[in-house]
Amino acid sequence: MGDSSGSDPVLHDPVLQALSQGLHDALVENFEVPKTDRFQVIHQHEVGELIFDPHYLGGPRSHDFVLIAITAGRARSVTTKQQFYRDLVEKLGRAPGLNAEDVMVVITTTAGDEWSFGGGRGN
Q: What CATH number does residue 108 fall under? A: 3.30.429.10
Residue 73 contacts residue 112 (beta carbons within 8 Å): yes
Report yes or no on 1 lying in a domain.
no
Sign of CA dihedral 18, 68, 85, 30: negative
Task: Examine the pLDDT at 50 and tell me if it is beyond 60.
Answer: yes
Is residue 79 one of the residues assigned to a domain? yes
Please name which of 32, 7, 18 lies closest in space to residue 84, comparing C-alpha atoms: 32
Cα distance between residue 27 and residue 40, in whole Å:
12
Confidence (pLDDT) at 112: 86
Q: Is residue 92 part of a domain?
A: yes
Position 41 confidence tier, pLDDT thresholds 50, 70, 90: very high
Query: Does the residue 25 lie in any domain?
Result: yes
Confidence of residue 75 (pLDDT cuts 50, 70, 90): very high
Rg of the chain (C-alpha set): 16
DSSP 61-76: --TT-EEEEEEESS--
Tell me whether residue 104 is exposed, middle or buried, using C-beta atoms within 10 angstroms of its C-beta: 0 to 12, 13 to 18, 19 or more: middle
Q: Number of structural domains, the chain? A: 1
Residue 68 lies in a domain: yes
In a domain, 109, yes or no: yes
User: In terms of residue numbers, what domain contains 93?
Assistant: 10-45+52-114
